Each structure stands twice: as structure tokens, then as C-alpha cells.
Structure 1
Amino acid sequence: MSAAVTPGREVVLETDRLLLRPWRVAEAVVQRELWTERDPRVPPHRRVDADGHPTVAELEDAIRTNPLWSTGLLAVERKGAGDVIGYCGLVDSGRGPDGEPELAFELLRRVWGQGYATEAAGAVLDWARSSGYERLWATVWDWNAASRRVLAKVGFTETERQEVHPVHGTTLFTTITCVGGRSAPLR
């Protein structure tokens, strides 16, 4: 994995098969596809609503104006095909301790099961370690077995912290400690 990182500048990460980079406005259609594919157990504010929002135009505007899409959640592009298949990156969701970002990822269903999520998450973790983060965390729905496997593969462990929602399920909190350039899971 290689990275081009300059404080205050865009992050670009590269693995054997993937390029993680800022989103381009024209790729809002991929974000819209992610919204339409989400499991019905995902809360409504994270799915396309009855009026069709967010629209592609609204997502284009978010890519243009929200720094999250240039420095936080990076587009995951397959180098061989040149297509964007989802996102992976670090966000400050406000649910974790100050200064400890959350790893987030989501890929299009058509590429599930090919190791791309694990590869992208590993690249982001390597970047986070080299950037000096001491600990990261991630949340995952208890029913999302595939994402739980990805998090376990890259070294996250589930903590005792959970948030129970009567309709959508239980959110599990996972964490990883970055020590001396390698990962050491926490409980």
C-alpha cells in the first residue's frame, strides 16, 4: 500500500487492486446506488425516502461542498476496471471518544465477497497508523455478519458497548489500537 498524504490535503491510498481517493461529482450515481441497495433494516434516514431523496443532484452537491467526500470517506476504485465500487475511510461521527475516528465502509452488492472491503479497510488502517492515530473504532449492526467479518479480519474486536434500537437492531461498537505500526485489538 502506498499513500500520498499532506496535512490539510486530499488523501490518496493505493493497494494492489484498489485506489482510494476523493470522490468526483460524476460518481454521485454510485452513491445513489449504495443508498438504493441498503438493507431494509437500515434506519430510514440512511435509505432513499418515499420522495426519492437523496437524488443524484443532491448527492452531487454533497460531493462538491462536503469535505467528508474529499478527506473522509474515500471512493474505492478498482484499478483494473477503473470503476468506483463504494467508499471506505475515517469519519468523526460524534459517537466515539474525542480524537478517535470511526472506520466506515460500504460497497456495492455486485462486488461483495471478493475481499475488496477487507483490502480497503486495511489500507485505511495502515494510513491511520502512519498518521499517528492511537485507536480507531467502528460500529456495525449485529445482523450485518459480512461487515462484522471484515472488521474481525483487519483486527477490530467487539467491545461491551452496544446501542439497542427496537426496530433496526443492535449497534455493536468495535475497536482497534494502533501500536508501533501494527494493530493490537482492545476489549
Structure 2
Amino acid sequence: MAPIRVPRALETDRLVLRPRSVDEAATYRRLWTERDLRVPAHRRIDADGRPTVADVAGQLADEPGLLAVRRRDTAEVIGYCGLIDHADAPPDEPELAFELLRSAHGRGYATEAGQAVVGWARESSCPRLWATVWDWNVASRRVLEKLGFHETGTVVARSVDGRSLLTVREL
């Protein structure tokens, strides 16, 4: 199957999802600074302040399926949501990924953005999506449940702070 075509935009009642741009790198780096301390160290800002905004800007092209999540009413970019292809997974079974700034939590934006991305995956003829989530991340587990994902019982990673669980959704 051909790689999934990235849309110019996905629109919901309150959000616009579109390809990320380098001028938003500071927002994506801010996500790194806001991450829970239970997130593994390689996904948080290190003692040298890395990744920097420039580092983050340089990595944006590596994940073209992740889309900026922008609020319609303010045009503010509040995070990302999209699909990631993995070399060890079938090309038509991407991973759903999302992360929003803390100021955007608790408003249903992650679920709304996720619904748009699940629709994009369905229209792209993906038979299944998967996502991983830390067992302690109750909010993200709830979002995935609302999106129709179910936990498989498979643990894909362990740390001193918890287990990363595999969830799937048939389309």
C-alpha cells in the first residue's frame, strides 16, 4: 500500500489540523518542558536544555503525519495530533499520536482532534490504528477509549514509573 497522503487540513467545529511549520517549533518545545516527570528522560528536556527550539524545528520534517492542532477562535497552536509510520509496523497501520499544551487540557480538544485523525485514517483505507500510552496517564487513556481504542494487555515498554500499554482500533 502507498504511504498515507497527508491532508492540507482537517477541520472540526473548534479546531483546524494542518501540517506543522518551523515557526511553531517553540510551541512544540514547550510541550517537552511540560511533560510529566514520569515520562522517560529521553522525551524530556535534558540538563543541557536539549532539545532546543532549533533542534525541534529540525525534527519536524521527520514526522510529516503529525499535524498542528490550532484553535479556530484564536488561531493558537495548542499541540499536535496525527499519524506516525513505523518501520517495524505495516505501512497501512500507523500509530495515532497526540499531545496538547497543559493550558488546553480538559476541554475535549484531544478527543476532537483524534476523531478527525481517525476519520482521515479511515478515508485512507487503514484497516487498524494503534497507540501506546503510559498506564499512569489516565487522561490519555480516556481519550483513546473515547476514540474507540481498546487496551490489548501488551506492554511495549517499562520504566521505574510504569508501563507503556498497546491500544488498537479497528477501522
Q: TM-score, normalised by structure 1?
A: 0.84
Unaligned runs of 5+ in 1: 1-6, 179-187
Letter in 2 for 1:77: R
User: Is the contact between residue 80 and residue 100 of structure 2 (CA under 8 Å) also seen in structure 1?
Assistant: yes
Aligned-residue identity in percent: 57
TM-superposed CA distance for 1:161, in Å, is 1.0
Structure 2 stretches of 5 or more lacking a match?
none
Aligned letter for 1:29? A
Alpha-carbon distance between aligned partners in 2 of 1:10 and 1:35, rounded to the nearest angstrom: 26
Listed as ranges, the matches of 1:132-171 within 5 Å are: 132-171=125-164
Q: Deviations over 1:97-147 (max 9, x none)?
A: 553111000000011000000000000001110110011111000000000
Cα 1:58–1:93 change in 2 (3 A) is same
2:15 aligns with 18
Does the 8 A contact of 2:92 with 2:127 survive in 1?
Answer: no
- Shift of residue 170, structure 1, vs aligned partner: 0.4
Counterparts of 1:9 and 1:176 in 2: how far apart (Å)?
20
Which among 94, 106, 113 is matched to residue 113 of structure 1?
106
Tell me the number of residue pairs that the alignment of Structure 1 and Structure 2 aligns. 168
Letter in 2 for 1:48: I
Deviations 1:25-77 (Å, cap 9, x if unpaired)? 111010110000000111111000000000011112223xx241xx3110000
Structure 2 residue 89 is matched with structure 1 residue 89: no
- The counterpart of 1:33, out of the listed 5, 30, 55, is 30
Are the equivalent residues in 2 in contact too, given 1:96–1:102 (CA < 8 A)? Answer: no
TM-score (norm 2): 0.92
Shift of 1:165: 1.5
User: What is the alpha-carbon distance in structure 2 between the residues aligned to residue 12 and residue 150 of structure 1?
Assistant: 22
Shift of 1:9: 5.5
Residues 32 and 135 of structure 1: CA distance in aligned 2, closer, same or farther (over 3 Å): same
Check the 8 A contact 1:96/1:137 in 2, yes or no: no
Distance in 2 between residues matched to 1:112 and 1:119, nearest whole Å? 12
Residue in structure 2 matched with residue 75 of structure 1 by the alignment: 68
